[in-house]
């Protein structure tokens, strides 16, 4: 199965699954007198937009290099992840606003029926399954946008756990727990939104790949034939890809052809060893004789 087929398949499952689940939870929340379940339904509905944006981001990032974008379009995936984070944050704040309004209104809060409890259980099972399904293919594609979408499913599953607890306590004689459950859902959603947005920012700002990765890479390069040592090593993240600027030392009396062959060998070896590396720029310095 090629990448484009996988992207379409995962996106369809996410969109249609969330539409059906959102409709079921919304009806259960309205008919069952549960504000927490209505909030949960809104969260699920936001997943529809999230999956659609993830789909667009991944498809656009697969476009080949062109004259205006000689380094490719991988950062579009990070842009999609950033938009997902914003959607999650807005969703969470909207849910919190509804919960706070109910708590501050001072009106009698209706006790939920058994229907929202059933909806919460169905949501937990369904969304956890969608998390593992989406994450499996996200790792296969090494897609940050689909990983963000998978965590969106997981956040929905956990928010449904909050709904289940709040609705259950409301039915046991503590109706105030239903709007409080909405606030719990908001806090978790905002945490996930922060994590997703932070990861997107990191990948859009040419952040290095970290000391552990660079130490491992340096050790690998210095084992290559003809390389005396690594003089300079810079890495930067470009979406879900990595670019490397490298200076190596070779024997001082090497011919131009020999130095070129060493550089080309290092370039090819690094790209084969590290699949996420899109390009290596290699400069050869004169080392010891």
For domain 211-286, which architecture applies?
A: 2-Layer Sandwich (3.30)
Continuous segment of H or E residues that includes residue 235: strand 229-238
In this structure, which topology does domain 3-204 adopt according to CATH?
Answer: Alpha-lytic protease prodomain-like (1.20.1510)
Instruction: Determine the Cα–Cα distance for residues 15 and 12; give it in Å rounded to an integer.
Output: 5
Q: What percent of the residues of the chain are helix, what percent strand, and what percent coil, each to the nearest 5?
A: 70, 10, 20
In the sheet that holds 229-238, the strands lie side by side as 229-238, 241-250, 277-286
Instruction: Sort 182 into a burial class: Cβ within 10 Å, 0-12 / 13-18 / 19+.
Output: buried
The CATH 1.20.1510.10 domain(s) of the chain lie at 3-204
Q: Report yes or no on whether pTM surpasses 0.85.
A: no
Torsion of CA 125, 131, 134, 137, to 10 degrees: -110
Tokens of 160: 């449904």
Instruction: Determine the Cα–Cα distance for residues 29 and 27; give it in Å rounded to an integer.
Output: 5
pLDDT in tens, the chain (289 residues): 667 788 788 888 888 888 899 899 999 989 998 877 887 787 777 777 777 777 777 777 777 777 776 666 666 777 777 887 888 788 788 778 877 877 787 667 778 899 999 999 999 999 999 999 999 988 888 777 788 788 878 878 887 888 888 888 888 888 888 788 778 778 877 887 888 788 787 777 777 888 899 999 999 999 999 999 999 999 988 767 788 999 999 999 889 999 999 999 999 999 999 988 888 999 999 987 6
pLDDT for 82 equals 83
Instruction: Determine the Cα–Cα distance for residues 157 and 154; give it in Å rounded to an integer.
Output: 5
pLDDT for 70 equals 65
CA distances from 175 to 29, 35, 148, 178 (A): 14, 11, 34, 6
The CATH 3.30.70.1350 domain(s) of the chain lie at 211-286
Instruction: Sort 4 into a burial class: Cβ within 10 Å, 0-12 / 13-18 / 19+.
Output: exposed
């Amino acid at each position: 199965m090629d990448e484009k087929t996988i992207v379409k398949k995962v996106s369809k499952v996410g969109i249609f699954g969330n539409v059906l689940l959102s409709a079921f939870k919304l009806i259960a929340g309205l008919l069952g007198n549960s504000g927490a379940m209505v909030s949960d339904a809104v969260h699920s509905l936001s997943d529809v937009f999230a999956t659609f944006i993830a789909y667009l981001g991944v498809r656009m990032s697969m476009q080949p290099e062109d004259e205006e974008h000689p380094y490719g379009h991988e950062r579009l995936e990070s842009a999609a992840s950033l938009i997902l984070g914003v959607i999650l944050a807005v969703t969470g704040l909207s849910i919190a606003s509804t919960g706070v309004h109910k708590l501050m209104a001072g009106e009698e809060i209706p006790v939920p029926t058994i229907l929202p409890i059933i909806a919460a259980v169905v949501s937990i099972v369904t969304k956890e399954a969608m998390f593992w399904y989406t994450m499996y293919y996200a790792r296969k594609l090494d897609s940050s946008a689909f990983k963000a979408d998978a965590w969106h499913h997981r956040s929905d599953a956990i928010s449904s756990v909050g709904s289940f607890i709040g609705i259950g306590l409301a039915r046991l004689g503590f109706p105030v727990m239903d709007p409080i459950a909405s606030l719990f859902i908001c806090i978790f959603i905002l945490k996930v939104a922060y994590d997703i947005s932070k990861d997107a920012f990191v990948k859009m700002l040419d952040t290095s790949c970290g000391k552990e990765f660079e130490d491992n890479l340096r050790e690998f390069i210095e084992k290559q034939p003809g390389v005396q040592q690594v003089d300079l090593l810079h890495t930067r993240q470009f979406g879900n890809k990595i670019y490397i600027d490298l200076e190596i030392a070779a024997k001082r009396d090497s011919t131009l052809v020999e130095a070129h062959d060493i550089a080309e060998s290092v370039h090819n070896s690094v790209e084969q060893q590290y699949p996420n590396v899109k390009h290596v720029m290699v400069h050869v310095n004169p080392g010891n004789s």
